[in-house]
Every structure is written in structure tokens, then in C-alpha cells.
Structure 1
Amino acid sequence: MRGRDVSTQLDGVNTRALRDVLGHFCSGVTVVTAMDGDEPAGFTCQSFSALSLDPPRVLLCPSKRSTSWPTIRTAATFCINVLAAGQQGLSDRFAVSGGPKFDGVPWHPAERGAPILEGAAAWFEVALDVEHDGGDHLIAVAAMLDFGADPATEPLLFHRSRYRGIVDSSR
């Protein structure tokens, strides 16, 4: 892999200010899920993106501090659930470490078993392809196995540290 060493170019950066400026980029919110034996596991992941249509690949960037990612990354498959507007509670629930995250959360298994959360705007069943170092996060590239969406559902958005909805400015 090619790249430049840019670590010295950012010495002394104000990470709070950087986080605030990065927050101006609106993103969707996902919950990444997998089965750990008979028990479901999951975590909220805001860093998710389409990567390639041919071959079909997506990427996600879990924190190196995540306690759920080590379990999920070893599963044969996992699901990336794009949360729908109104699912802020699920985002908050899966953003914390530990605890019974799935208690009372309706879900059904994807074809290969990974949990699809009920009411999600979209979902992608994937298998981990490769993982790269990304500083305090990992860059995980996943191969697409299956996918689906509810075309009538709007996604949950996150912008400037707040949940948002879509505003149709074309009207």
C-alpha cells in the first residue's frame, strides 16, 4: 500500500476543533451486527460508505477502542443496518459498550444469519475482505453478499453532533 507520512504535518492540531469542523459533513447512522454463537452483537458506526460496484464493496471504520468489533470481525458475515429516521434510540443504545444491547430490539436473521434490525432503512449483509490501520480507527473493506431497503423509509442523519432528518428543498 502506498502513502505518505503526514503525521508531522498535523502536530498540535486541536482535536476538538477538528471534530467540530468534521461534524459539518452530514452522515447516515448505521448499526453493525453479527452473531456471536447464539447471541447477537452490534455497535453504532457513523463511518460507513459505498466503495465499489464492481466488485461490490463497502467500507466501515470501527474505532480501535470498540469492544464489539473484535467479535463481529471474526463472524463469517455481518450486517450493516442503515438506521431510519426515528431510530435515534437504537443508535444511542448500540453506541455504548457492554450491556444487553438487543434486549427488546426486534430483528430477524439475514440469509446467512446476521441480524437485520426491524425498521432499518436499508441493510447490507457482508463478509470482511481486508482491514487496514487508520489511526485511532480501522478501515474495514467488506464484500457484499446481499442487501435490501425499504424505499418508503427516510434515513437517520447525523450532523454537527445532532440527529437530523431530510428536508426536501425542491418543494
Structure 2
Amino acid sequence: MRDQAHRTPTLAAPLLPGIDPAEFRRVLGRFATGVVAVTAIDAAGRPAGMAVNSFTSVSLAPPLVAFCVAHTSTSWPSIRNAGRCCLNILGGGQRPVSAQFAARGTDKFAGLSWSPAPSGSPLLADALAWLDCAIDDEHTAGDHDIVVARVDAAGLGADRDPLVFFGSRYGTFDAG
């Protein structure tokens, strides 16, 4: 991961006054997203994880992806310190997995089956796909950090519809 001293936020234009954060959240909720469980093995050898829905591909060459993490996340420090993570793309039947990974102060892996990805990070059973990554860079952006990760290995998992988050609700997308 690159030196974090360069993390000085810059804005291209000032935010317009009068944008209510709750309304901004409702507007952004109209953009359907997938759901990803980010997993790692922490310094004590325990699995750590969190759910994100702000995930995107960045580059094919080199293979890079990005996801956003709130500054208030209690799970991110353990994952960041691991330096590696597995991004598990969740399927339609994995809504309880997403809720478990989004909850604070709980055992994120209670009752879940997983196997080690090539790096050792947890690869969740029944994930649609997975990306085994090295954390490459982090950029401060408002109340979140944008994490850029280099994909070292990837694979397909269960063949079913994806888990989708839209308007603060879960659903699926019928690919048929």
C-alpha cells in the first residue's frame, strides 16, 4: 500500500449549499448496486469481514477494483492491516450473509462456511464470484475512503441471480 501522507482531499467544485444528507442518500438509493462481502484474516489469525455495496472495476491491465469504506467502520482497520482481502460477490440467496457482515460488533462468520482463497483470505461458500486482492492504495473522499485493490486471483462460484441493493432494500435481478 502506498504512503498515506498523500491523502489530501481535493474537490473539483464546492458542494452546493442546501443539499440535505438524507435526501442525497435517498437519491443515491435509486442506483441499484450489487453487494460484496470483503474478507481477510486479521493479525491474530481470525477471519474479519464487512459488507460493501460501493464496488467497481477500475482497470483491466493491471487488474484493479475499488470499494468504499466509511471512516466509522470498525472492521476496516483489521482488513487494512492484513494487506490482502477477498471480495465475495453475493447472490440472491445470501441476504442474511450481507446483513451479518453489515452488523457491528458481531461474529461475521458465525454459521457460515468458507474456504481459504489463494492468499488465505476467506472465500465464502455460494458466492457468485470472488476476487483475491492485495490492497494497493487508499484515498480520502469525504466521510469515506476509496480503497483500490490489485486482483491477484479470481473465480466464478455459484450460478444464480445476484443480490441487489436498491432503495434501502434487497432484491434480485432475473438474468433469465
Question: Aligned in 2, Cα 1:40/1:164: closer, same or farther, shift over 3 Å?
Answer: same
**TM-superposed deviation, 1:151:** 6.2
**TM-superposed deviation, 1:50:** 0.5
Task: For residues 47-95 of structure 1, give each alpha carbon's deviation from its aligned partner in whole angstroms, at most 9, with x where no partner exists.
Answer: 1100000110000101111001111011131101100111000111110
Instruction: Report the counterpart of residue 53 of structure 2 in structure 1.
Output: 46
The answer (yes or no) to whether the contact 2:9–2:140 under 8 Å persists in 1 is no
Q: 2:94 aligns with which of 83, 87, 90?
A: 87
TM-score between the two structures when normalised by the length of structure 2: 0.90
Q: 2:28 aligns with which of 16, 22, 25?
A: 22
Partner amino acid, structure 1, of 2:85: F
The answer (yes or no) to whether the contact 2:41–2:82 under 8 Å persists in 1 is yes
TM-score between the two structures when normalised by the length of structure 1: 0.92
Q: 1:157 aligns with which of 143, 161, 164?
A: 164
Task: For residues 5-58 of structure 1, give each alpha carbon's deviation from its aligned partner in whole angstroms, at most 9, with x where no partner exists.
Answer: 534x33231111111111111100011000013210000111110000011000
Instruction: Report the counterpart of residue 120 of structure 2 in structure 1.
Output: 113
Aligned residues: percent identity?
Answer: 42
Instruction: Report the counterpart of residue 100 of structure 1 in structure 2.
Output: 107
**Runs (4+) off by over 6 Å:** none
Instruction: Report the counterpart of residue 33 of structure 1 in structure 2.
Output: 39
The aligned length equals: 168
Partner amino acid, structure 2, of 1:122: A
- Provide the rounded CA distance (Å) in 2 between the counterparts of 1:19 and 1:2: 21
Identify unmatched segments of 5+ residues in structure 2: 1-7
- Provide the rounded CA distance (Å) in 2 between the counterparts of 1:129 and 1:34: 15
Question: Aligned in 2, Cα 1:4/1:103: closer, same or farther, shift over 3 Å?
Answer: closer
CA RMSD of aligned residues (A): 1.7
